[in-house]
Amino acid sequence: MNRAAVPGLPSPHPIGELLPALFADDDFAQRFTAGLDTVLAPVFATLDNLPAYFRPRLAPADFLDWLASWVAVDVDPAWPEEVRRAVVERAVELHRWRGTRRGLTERLRLVLGAGAEITDGGGASWSTAPGAVPLPAADGEVLIRVWPLDGPGPGAGLDEDQVLSVVRAGCPVHLTCRVEILPGPPGRTEG
């Protein structure tokens, strides 16, 4: 989108009307300032609507990626525009939950429309008995089972590369994340 030249956009503040009375009837002065109005009208329109530029749901599409950089969100250009807008809008919440089960589940739902079940191998052990032998360390593997929320059927499958990309962005680096893509929610009985 180009906001520099909008054909027929009127200026809310025509310069010709602001000139002293001496130039009010001067044809050259009025035509000259009308040319400047054509150049300045998009600037005024942008400034008048500036608050909308900072709202992800209202911002122009070409401004959205820049707005995403302000809130430190990586948006994939391949995502639909509405998904990118939702991710930018919820950036603070997604950052707050990054690296957690809740954060990864929410990101998968928001970006891919996928449900997720995340099983953590655990990482802490304790005992009430003094001198007890600690349990062996957890293997550090997280199992992430993902399925489409719109149900099984043609076109309802998830793209493995997209799922892996979202999981890599949300899984803590010190853990090994194993992903399984399922046709539907786990444990569901087929009738």
- Under the banding of pLDDT at 50, 70 and 90, the label for residue 144 is very high
CB 85 within 8 A of CB 56: yes
What's the mean pLDDT when you consider all of the chain?
84
User: CA 75, CA 191: separation in Å to the nearest integer?
Assistant: 39
Give per-residue pLDDT as tens, 51-67.
988 999 999 888 899 99
CATH numbers and ranges of domains, the chain: 21-51 (no CATH), 101-125+136-184 (3.30.300)
